[in-house]
Amino acid sequence: MSETLRLTLVQMTSHNTHAENIRALEGIAAKAADTGAEMIALPEAAGLMDRDKAHAQAQIRAEGEDPFLAACADAARRHGLWIQAGSTPVRAADGRALNHGTLIDPTGRIVARYDKIHLFDVFLEGRAPTGESSRYAPGSEAVVADSPWGGLGLSICYDLRFPHLYRDYAKAGARVMFVPSAFTVPTGRAHWEILLRARAIETGAFVVAAAQVGTHADGRRTWGHSLVIAPWGDVLADLGGTGPGQITLDLDLGLVGSARTQIPSLTNERPYTLKTVSDRTAAE
């Protein structure tokens, strides 16, 4: 198992057509290969970002027919790269859409799939409800993918707010957690870095969070600040909040074992029962 992963972290302003995003992907992959990267991490909605439901539905295809995933597989083969393809909407067997993440190996084969479990149904002050569940069906399976660098935990965006998922991943051997995202500006400003650093510290793992940024063709604005967080909570890379970009860096995976040995909270936990106490029972 390799102790160093040379990773290219990507930040995108994805379009509401596959073709525009495929063009961006081709440039990203070529540049990553030039830096000697072994893996690319893309953001949520990398292949298609479109809040116009009818326009999006007309473009969404099953995984095997999706043009963006086909382009990712081709780029992986041509450049000898692993690609964590962030996510892109695909059609499920029952006709509903899934917010679908994939891990692709250098042969172009999809070796792991993850459908976003926790959908972004929130009610921010001064904004219309987001209602992600009105467009997507939820996933139901958490996924740790085996790789030459050990276990990789797969998640998407709003999953970040459910820390038990990442704890379960760490217990299952994940050394790197992927959190491809398209955070809103208000929630990004308030919570993004704090939550990512917390997940890294709690699990003693690397957290890789590729993000969407800027103003999109569908009118949305996203926070950006793609981050890589080390197991001790240090920010190793931040791509800022102004525009697309990418950076290649080496992850020293030996830091995972070091952090978990120093603070073994994954093994220190103990079972407990929960009781609630009212004023009346307290008086008794």
Q: Name every residue whose Cβ is closer than 8 Å to that of residue 6 and which is 6 or more positions away in sequence.
A: 35, 36, 37, 38, 39, 248, 249, 250, 251
Q: Is 72 among the residues known to form the active site? A: no
Whole-number Å distance between alpha carbons of 69 and 25: 10
Bridge pairing between strands 39-41 and 4-12: parallel
Token representation of residue 218:
């569908």
- Give the dihedral sign, CA 71/74/173/177: negative
Are 161 and 118 contacting, i.e. CB atoms less than 8 angstroms apart?
A: yes
Token representation of residue 30:
């070529």
Token representation of residue 282:
């307290």
Q: Is 171 among the residues known to form the active site? A: no
Q: Which of 157, 193, 202, 269 is catalytic?
A: 157
Q: Is 157 among the residues known to form the active site? A: yes
Q: Which of 44, 63, 72, 269 is catalytic?
A: 44
Active site residue ranges: 44, 116, 157
